[in-house]
């Protein structure tokens, strides 16, 4: 299986180590035909990307497009879901300027309100210590993601289930309906064959992303490809497969 794109890369605009330029050059070196810059939304505590910086990223990409041929350089994001109602931390006008939109749940975010911070940050933390709370938290997390894909045009949900439990079957069913792909994340090693199989049964598509936080790791997708194949996926199931 050959992947032509890596949609999930971070830069120094959040907590990545490389610049936009370095990520793109690394993608060229790996032979990718497309690479996306997908910075965190601003609500990640301590590492979020300033909304104003997204305009700078867009400009840098425009400049690089003139300089580098043979690769599509895409302006994207990894927005945070910041309420159970599915609010995102990047304004819709900015999302509309992007080539694609990814959203994810992260455990260390500021919610839209104190109540949302409680549901998304504190309750997830509590559920790790008190398994009896897991069902409620899983239901809430899943609902937050589903509301986000109902309200916004979302291309990919990043690392479903990482640090924050979700109901794969329910999420995958809704994602299939909305044309949103679920990510198989090559960076965190949390994805299981079982998760992929359950999701595939719902008819959802997948995207394999490196979640690179340093240029060398851009396009580093081998392990995730192996996992996808082990779960029985073919190139038709994966939006960035040739
Ligand atoms: Zn993430
Ligand atoms: Zn990421």
Query: Domain with 128 in it: what CATH number?
Result: 3.20.20.140
The bound ligand whose nearest atom lies closest to the alpha carbon of 16 is: 2
Say if 242 falls within a structural domain: no
| pTM (two decimals) | 0.97
Task: Compute the distance from residue 152 Cα to the ligand 2 centre, in Å.
Answer: 19
Say if 215 falls within a structural domain: yes
Task: Compute the distance from residue 10 Cα to the ligand 2 centre, in Å.
Answer: 6
Task: Compute the distance from residue 181 Cα to the ligand 1 centre, in Å.
Answer: 15
- Picking from 163, 164, 223, 209, the residue whose alpha carbon sits closest to that of residue 38 is 209
- Name the residue with tokens 């497969």: 241
The bound ligand whose nearest atom lies closest to the alpha carbon of 158 is: 1
Say if 96 falls within a structural domain: yes
Task: Compute the distance from residue 235 Cα to the ligand 1 centre, in Å.
Answer: 24
Say if 95 falls within a structural domain: yes
- How many other β-carbons are positioned within 10 Å of the β-carbon of residue 190? 12
The bound ligand whose nearest atom lies closest to the alpha carbon of 106 is: 1
The bound ligand whose nearest atom lies closest to the alpha carbon of 103 is: 1
- How many other β-carbons are positioned within 10 Å of the β-carbon of residue 70? 8
Q: By residue range, what is the domain housing residue 180?
A: 5-237
Residue 1's pLDDT is 93
Task: Compute the distance from residue 9 Cα to the ligand 2 centre, in Å.
Answer: 7
The bound ligand whose nearest atom lies closest to the alpha carbon of 81 is: 1
The number of domains in the chain is 1
Per-residue pLDDT of the chain (242 residues; tens, 9 = 90+): 999 999 999 999 999 999 999 999 999 999 999 999 999 999 999 999 999 999 999 999 999 999 999 999 999 999 999 999 999 999 999 999 999 999 999 999 999 999 999 999 999 999 999 999 999 999 999 999 999 999 999 999 999 999 999 999 999 999 999 999 999 999 988 899 999 999 999 999 999 999 999 999 999 999 999 999 999 999 999 999 99
Say if 138 falls within a structural domain: yes
The residues placing their C-beta within 5 Å of ligand 2, an ion, are 78, 211
- Picking from 43, 49, 45, the residue whose alpha carbon sits closest to that of residue 14 is 49
Residue 189's pLDDT is 84
Say if 208 falls within a structural domain: yes
Q: Which two tokens stand for residue 27?
A: 């993608």
- Picking from 149, 154, 156, 153, the residue whose alpha carbon sits closest to that of residue 207 is 156
Say if 48 falls within a structural domain: yes
């Amino acid at each position: 299986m050959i992947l032509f794109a890596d949609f999930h890369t971070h830069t120094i605009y959040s907590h990545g180590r490389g610049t936009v330029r370095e990520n793109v050059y690394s993608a060229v070196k790996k032979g990718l035909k497309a690479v996306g810059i997908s910075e965190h939304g601003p609500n990640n505590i301590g590492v979020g990307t300033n909304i104003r910086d997204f305009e700078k990223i867009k400009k840098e990409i425009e400049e690089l497009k003139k300089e580098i041929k043979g690769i599509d350089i895409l302006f994207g994001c990894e927005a945070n879901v910041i309420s159970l109602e599915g609010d995102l931390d990047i304004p819709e006008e900015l999302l509309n300027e992007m080539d694609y939109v990814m959203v994810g749940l992260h455990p260390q975010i500021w919610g839209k309100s104190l109540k949302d911070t409680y549901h998304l940050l504190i309750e997830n933390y509590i559920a790790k210590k008190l398994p009896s709370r897991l069902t409620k938290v899983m239901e809430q997390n899943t609902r937050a993601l589903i509301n986000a894909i109902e309200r916004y045009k979302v291309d990919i949900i990043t690392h479903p289930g990482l640090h924050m439990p979700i109901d794969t079957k329910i999420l995958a069913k809704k994602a299939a309906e909305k044309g949103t792909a679920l990510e198989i994340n090559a960076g965190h090693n949390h994805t299981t064959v079982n998760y992929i199989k359950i999701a595939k049964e719902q008819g959802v598509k997948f995207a394999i992303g490196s979640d690179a936080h340093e240029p060398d790791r851009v396009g580093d997708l081998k392990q995730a490809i192996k996992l996808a194949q082990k779960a029985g996926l073919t190139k038709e199931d994966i939006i960035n497969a040739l």
